[in-house]
Structure 1
Amino acid sequence: MDTNTNQKDELAVVEYVRDLKGFYSHLTNYLVVIIILFLINLLTDSSYIWAIWPALGWGIGVLNHAAHVYEWFNWFNERWEKKQIEKRLGRRL
């Protein structure tokens, strides 16, 4: 393996770890804020659970972030990018 390949691999791993860190931070913020909202909701007026709405809305964002980081739907991966670049250049890379 040459050093250029090693550097690319290292950069890819560093980027992934940063994405993972960002997701964990997002998830932690979500959990803390949603727990606080539910506590406020239950302590002030437990007849209507309104805290479910921000939990669902923000939860969709957290799931989207997880799908991106863990590549659950890998439609726009490196292979797709390379194919698009080759198509626009009119030649193979």
Structure 2
Amino acid sequence: MENVTDYKYKKAKERVECIKGFYTHAMVYAIVISVLAYLNYVTTGFLWIVFPALGWGIGLLGHGMQAFGYMPFLGKDWEERKIREIMNNDEY
């Protein structure tokens, strides 16, 4: 069986990788949306940049919520509780 310290380390490492991925995602979002905004400014008067910024922004928001553990819909430890519940209720 896995040591408690090893388990905590593994979970912490996964969380740090998720946060790091979010920061990378946010940086790419800022760069790409900035380039698209410039293209929108120099090419047309229609403000089409709003559509990709909002669409991608919603995805970025979801990624941030996951990375920082804010899940108002299912709760912080919902998945672990559900696994334990299913394991306790199912007969094998």
Q: TM range, normalised to the smaller chain?
A: 0.7 to 0.9
> Scaled by the length of structure 2, what TM-score is found?
0.81
Q: Percent identity?
A: 32
Which structure 1 residue ranges, 4+ long, deviate > 4 Å from structure 2?
none
Partner residue of 2:29? 30
> Scaled by the length of structure 1, what TM-score is found?
0.80
Number of residue pairs matched?
87
How far the C-alpha of 1:10 sits from its partner, in A, is: 0.8
2: CA distance, partners of 1:9 / 1:89: 21
How far the C-alpha of 1:76 sits from its partner, in A, is: 5.0
How far the C-alpha of 1:60 sits from its partner, in A, is: 0.3
1: CA distance, partners of 2:81 / 2:62: 25
Partner residue of 1:64? 62
Cα-Cα RMSD: 1.9
Partner residue of 2:4? 5
The 3 A distance-change label for structure 1 pair 88 and 34 is same
Asked if structure 1 preserves the Cα contact closer than 8 Å seen for 2:70 and 2:76, the reply is no
Matches for 1:68-79 after TM superposition, within 5 Å: 68-73=66-71, 75=74, 77-78=76-77
